[in-house]
Structure 1
Amino acid sequence: MSKKIQVFLIDDHPILRHGLTLLLNQQEDIQVCLEACNFIEVKQKLPTNNVNVIILDLSLEEVSGLEVLKWIRENYPSLPVLILSMYDENVYAERALRSGANGYISKQSPPPEIINAIRTVHSGEIYLNHQMFSKLLSKYLNNKNDNDSLFEKLTKRELEIFRLFGEGMTVKGIAEKLHISVKTVETHKLNIREKLNFSKGEDVIRVAKIWIATGNLPKYL
Structure 2
Amino acid sequence: MLGRKLNDRYEIQALVGEGATAAVYRGLDLRLQRTVGIKLLLPYVDSTTRQRFQREAFSAAQLNHPNIMGIYDVGEEKDQNFLIVEYVEGEPLYSFIPSPPQVVAEYGRQICLALDYAHQKNVIHRDIKPANIHITPSGQVKIMDFGLAITPDSKRLTAMGRIIGTPAYLSPEQAQGLKLDYRTDLYSLGIVLYELATGVLPFDADDIGVLLLQQVKKTPKPPSELAPEIPPALEAVILKALEKEPQNRFTTAGEMAAALQIVLDGGADTRTTIQPAAAEPESAPLSAPAEAPHTGPIRVVLADDHRILRTSLAMFLDVNDDINVVGEADNGDQALEVVRDQQPDVLLLDLNMPGLGGLDILPQLRSNWPDVKVLVLTGRDEDVYIMRALRAGAHGYVLKTIGEDALVQAVRDVAQGNLVLGHGVAERVVQGFVGRAEVTSNVLTTLEHAILTGIAAGQTNDEIAQRLKLDPQIVGEELIELLDRMGTASRTEAALIALRRGWVALEDLHNIS
TM interval, shorter chain, is 0.5 to 0.7
Distance across 2 between alignment mates of 1:79 and 1:65: 14
2:384 equivalent to 1:82:
no
Q: Deviations over 1:28-62 (max 9, x none)?
A: 21111100112232232222223100000000101
Tell me the residue number matched to 1:24: 317
Length-normalised TM-score, structure 2: 0.31
Computing the radius of gyration from Cα coordinates, the structure with the larger value is 2
2:14 equivalent to 1:14:
no
Tell me the residue number matched to 1:214: none
**Contact 1:69 1:99 survives alignment (8 Å):** yes
Tell me the residue number matched to 1:112: 405
Tell me the residue number matched to 2:338: 45
Q: Deviations over 1:149-203 (max 9, x none)?
A: 966xx9xxx9998665434x9xxxx9xxxxxxxxx99x96xx79x49x5689x96
Distance across 2 between alignment mates of 1:160 and 1:26: 44
- 1:23-172 correspondence runs (5 A): 23-138=316-431, 143=437, 147-148=444-445, 165-167=467-469
Structure 2 counterpart SS, 1:124: coil
Distance across 1 between alignment mates of 2:312 and 2:299: 17
Identify which range, 52-61 or 89-98, moves more after superposition: 89-98
**Contact 1:7 1:32 survives alignment (8 Å):** yes
Tell me the residue number matched to 2:69: none
Structure 2 counterpart SS, 1:83: strand
Q: CA deviation at 1:90?
A: 3.3
Question: 1:117 and 1:96, CA in 2 relative to 1: closer, same or farther beyond 3 A?
Answer: same
Structure 1 counterpart SS, 2:376: strand
What is the letter of the counterpart of residue 82 of structure 1? L
* Matched-pair identity in %: 28
**Contact 1:91 1:148 survives alignment (8 Å):** no
Distance across 1 between alignment mates of 2:462 and 2:386: 14
RMSD across aligned C-alpha pairs, in angstroms? Answer: 4.0
Q: Deviations over 1:82-141 (max 9, x none)?
A: 000011153322221111000000011111121111111111011002532234345556
What is the letter of the counterpart of residue 76 of structure 1? W
Structure 2 counterpart SS, 1:147: coil
Question: 1:128 and 1:26, CA in 2 relative to 1: closer, same or farther beyond 3 A?
Answer: same
Distance across 2 between alignment mates of 1:59 and 1:137: 24
Distance across 2 between alignment mates of 1:115 and 1:164: 35
Unaligned runs of 5+ in 2: 1-42, 44-294, 452-459, 481-490, 497-505
Structure 2 counterpart SS, 1:62: coil
Question: 1:144 and 1:121, CA in 2 relative to 1: closer, same or farther beyond 3 A?
Answer: farther
Identify which range, 141-150 or 44-53, moves more after superposition: 141-150
Question: 1:126 and 1:60, CA in 2 relative to 1: closer, same or farther beyond 3 A?
Answer: same
Distance across 2 between alignment mates of 1:140 and 1:147: 12
What is the letter of the counterpart of residue 94 of structure 1? M
**Contact 2:351 2:359 survives alignment (8 Å):** yes
Length-normalised TM-score, structure 1: 0.66
Distance across 1 between alignment mates of 2:330 and 2:374: 16
Question: 1:40 and 1:132, CA in 2 relative to 1: closer, same or farther beyond 3 A?
Answer: closer
Question: 1:130 and 1:75, CA in 2 relative to 1: closer, same or farther beyond 3 A?
Answer: same
Unaligned runs of 5+ in 1: 175-183, 207-221
Matched residues, number: 182
Distance across 1 between alignment mates of 2:382 and 2:321: 29
Say which structure is richer in helix.
Answer: 1
